[in-house]
Amino acid sequence: MGFATPTCPIAKRCGGCEWLAVPYPIQLRRKREAVVGLFSDLLDSGASEAAPGDVAIVGMEAPRGYRHKAATPFSPGKGGMIRSGFYERGTHRIVPCAACLAEDPRCRPILNDMARVAERLKIRAYDEDKGRGMLRHAVVRTGWRTEEGLLTVVTNGNTLAHGRELAEAVAEAAPLRLSVVQNINQRRTNAILGPTSKPLLGPGVMHDSLLGVTFEIGPTSFYQTNPEQTEALYRLAIDGARLEPGQTLLDAYCGIGTIGLCAAKAVDGVSVVGVERVEGAVADARRNARANGLGGRARFVCADATAYLADSKHNRTGFDVVVLDPPRAGATEAFLSACDASGCGRIVYVSCNPVTQRRDLDFLVGRGWLLESLTVVDMFPHTKHAETVAALRRR
């Protein structure tokens, strides 16, 4: 493998790509070894069919330009200038950035261009110390399988003077079909997005597809940022599920329904129930199911995953396979207990935090489950993060 180690002029100050100086093949080896180390006694035990040497890592062929979502804070500079870029590590000082090698190269120029257009239109950047000014942040997302993009302009107020002109000028110069949304955040908080959004240009949503399923993505939808590796991750999850026609899959912590809908698309005759606690995401999932002709086989419930599965009303014996993809905190014992008590024969655990996954797998193994395989997926090259997919079956 001949990877040239890339360099970035602001790597030290930005801190986003902590491992940038480490050659990519060594990054992959380190991530794999860290996961194997964390799981070693389990992999060496009778509770695992996979030995440490069976744990593979799926890396990227070209580990750059992988992030299809980029954001910038804005702050006022001298004479109406608007600063954009990244926060310097541990501070709220903005370091300008002309190009970020982790991002889709179309992203950063759109954000910087927006600052220039706003200066021309005399729109003021938000001053977080004084709580004054209009433009707080911008977030742009670009399609991987589509030529669509969505720019979210976060403002400290409802009325953005020249908002339409701003949107049109930025979209005009963008190298893809860009829809622009205004999001209003009037709270004094570090959270980027506020509660309400309205379209400034175009439909206010964009589309992308994964494994042949098209997803509509709005300004607040959760959607993985590295689509190429997301496909690898989902494929592993679907393969690990070994679904057969007629079976029912529970997609727990399902977000906008991506894993479940990809599974329904991949295996004819499989039914999916997704459970997710964010109402907007559930609405997206339902719409995505219908738009892909999967509405008859996929249904989504807005609930806490544990409460849903532990509540016997929900016919919890009806699931053949459970896929779960919880946040960094992992699942709860009550959720895992309910999984175990349900009739399901297989569990596929997708994780963005191997530490909590290890804890949760210990619990399942204690209840007699067998670890069949463990695979690492590199979703965030040049960082220390690792995602993992574990497939288990009932003994």
Question: Is 305 a binder of ligand SAH (CB under 6 A)?
Answer: yes
DSSP 80: G
How large is the C-alpha radius of gyration of the chain?
A: 22
* Contact pattern from residue 164 through residue 203 relative to ligand SAH, giving x for each residue in contact according to CB under 6 A and a dash for the rest: ----------------------------------------
Which one of residues 27, 185, 224, 388 is an interface residue with ligand SAH (CB under 6 A)?
Answer: 224
- Ranked by CB distance to ligand SAH, the top (closest) residue is 255
Which of 206, 92, 293, 23 lies closest to 83, judged by CA?
A: 92
The one-letter code for the residue type at 175 is: P
Residue 54, CB-side half-sphere exposure with 13 Å CA sphere: 14
Give the single-character DSSP code of 78: G
SS3 69: strand
**CA 306 – CA 160 distance, rounded (Å):** 42
Cβ(277)–Cβ(283) under 8 Å?
no
Is 224 marked as a binding-site residue?
Answer: yes
Q: Which is nearer to ligand SAH, 160 or 389 (CB)?
A: 389
Cα 123 from Cα 114, distance rounded (Å): 11
Q: Which one of the spans 59-67, 83-91, 153-161, 320-328 is the region binding ligand SAH (CB under 6 A)?
A: 320-328
208, 276, 360, 372: residue in contact with ligand SAH (rule CB under 6 A): 276
Q: Work out whether 258 is an interface residue with ligand SAH (CB under 6 A).
A: yes
Catalytic residue among 8, 254, 339, 352: 352
Residue type, 296: G
Beta strands in the chain (DSSP E): 56-58, 69-76, 82-84, 86-87, 94-95, 135-142, 148-155, 177-184, 196-201, 206-210, 213-217, 248-252, 271-276, 298-302, 321-324, 346-351, 369-377, 387-394
Among 117, 261, 273, 281, binds ligand SAH (CB under 6 A): 281
The annotation status of 276 as a binding-site residue, yes or no, is yes
Among 325, 360, 372, 378, binds ligand SAH (CB under 6 A): 325
In the complex with ligand SAH, the residue whose CB is nearer, 327 or 343, is: 327
Please tell me whether 311 is known to bind a ligand.
no
**Are 166 and 134 contacting, i.e. CB atoms less than 8 angstroms apart?**
no
Residue 353 CB, nearest distance to ligand SAH (Å)?
11
User: 119 is written with which tokens?
Assistant: 């200066």
**CB of residue 174 vs ligand SAH: minimum separation in angstroms?**
25
Q: List the x/- string, 46-85, binding to ligand SAH by CB under 6 A.
A: ----------------------------------------
Please state, in angstroms and rounded to a whole number, the distance separating the CA atoms of residues 37 and 55.
11
Q: Is 14 a catalytic residue?
A: no
Query: Which letter does DSSP use for residue 190 in this model?
Result: S
Q: Show which residues are catalytic.
A: 352
* Residues binding ligand SAH (CB under 6 A): 222, 224, 253-255, 258-259, 275-278, 281, 304-305, 325-327
Binding residues for S-adenosyl-L-methionine: 224, 253, 276, 325
